[in-house]
Amino acid sequence: MRVGFIGIGTMGSGMALNALKTGCEMTVHDLRKEAAEPHLAAGAKWADSPAEAARGADVVFTSLPKPNDVETVGLGEHGLLGAMEKGAAWFDLSTNSPSTLRRVGAKFAEKGIHFLDAPVSGGPAGAQSGKLAIYIGGDSAIYDKHAKLLQAIGDQAMYVGELTAGTVAKLAHNCASFTLRMVVAEIFTLGVKAGVPPLALWHAIRQGATGRKRTFDMLADQFLVNKYEPPNFALELALKDMTLAMELAKEVDVPMHMADLAYADMNEAVKRGWGRLDSRSIMMLQSERAGVHIEESAADVQKTLAKG
């Protein structure tokens, strides 16, 4: 297997080294040649341009900072489009823009070159250890063909759907992550200012119902199956608890911007008559606003959970 790898910086370096462990024949390129020293020592060859790295390759990987970098490497002078052969595959490991992916993908499709988005999640440590999620969008047969190589790069390589599906999943994941950080910061400052020592508070909330679960497991029981009764915890009781928390915030003078939004939604849901539904029924408000209907079978949800 001949592999081209372009972009061996903070994330790309470890991913390329893990791919090399499969015994593939790899050519690498980066803006800094010194970045390639460990790869050259492990048997890779150096290329002076993206085109040179891609020429004759069965599969090309790119790990680049921004969408315009991907577009330049793909379509620009000395780029991939003029160098890759019909039937070859390009997996973009960058976090990209769906519109850029569609634009670039159309150009490569015209030449019979397979383009797949494959953004990763796991950070530099995961890139080095191989403990990465890789979200793949594109032709499923091409994913299957190169699954062994992808699984060497990340232990959770998964096919998500057509081109851009992997990127949509990655952007949704990161948006949730960044928003949750602010939510956690809000409730943590509330607890500390109300008099609980930071480590004691941290330990306590980690052992609660939400703290013990994987973050997105909260979607399994009600949201994905669109079933909110019988309730595990009724919305009217959740609103009572939330009201007490918001009153405490006012008492100790802690701003609660994120919680204010959730509190308003909880009140709206109760006014709609949802008080005796599960507390997660407030999530239906967002589905309604977005104009989407989500309702999977419980059996399919359990099958997905079983994947890990």
> Mean pLDDT for the chain?
96
In percent, the amount of the chain with pLDDT more than 70 equals 100
**Tokens in use for 151?**
């699984």
∠ CA 99-147-213 to the nearest 5 degrees? 75
- Closest of 194, 299, 188 to residue 253, by C-alpha: 194
pTM of the model: 0.90
Calpha distance 207→200 (Å, rounded): 11
What pLDDT, on a 0 to 100 scale, did the predictor assign at position 84? 98
The strand pair at 89-92 and 120-121 is best described as unpaired
Can you tell me the distance from the alpha carbon of 87 to that of 90, in angstroms, rounded to the nearest whole number?
10
Q: Which residues pair with 121 in a beta bridge?
A: 133
Band of pLDDT at residue 41, cut at 50, 70 and 90: very high
DSSP for 133-169 reads EEEEES-HHHHHHTHHHHHHH-TEEEEEESTTHHHHH
Q: Vertex 88, ends 85 and 89: CA angle to 5°? A: 140
- List of domains in the chain: 2-163 (3.40.50.720), 170-306 (1.10.1040.10)
Q: What is the pLDDT of residues 125-172, one digit of tens each?
A: 999 999 999 999 999 999 999 999 999 999 999 999 999 999 999 999
Q: How many CA atoms lie within 13 A of 42 on its CB side?
A: 20
Q: Give pLDDT, residue 308.
A: 82
Please give the average per-residue pLDDT across 112-117, as a whole number.
Answer: 98
**Which tens digits make up the pLDDT trace of 272-296?**
999 999 999 999 999 999 999 999 9
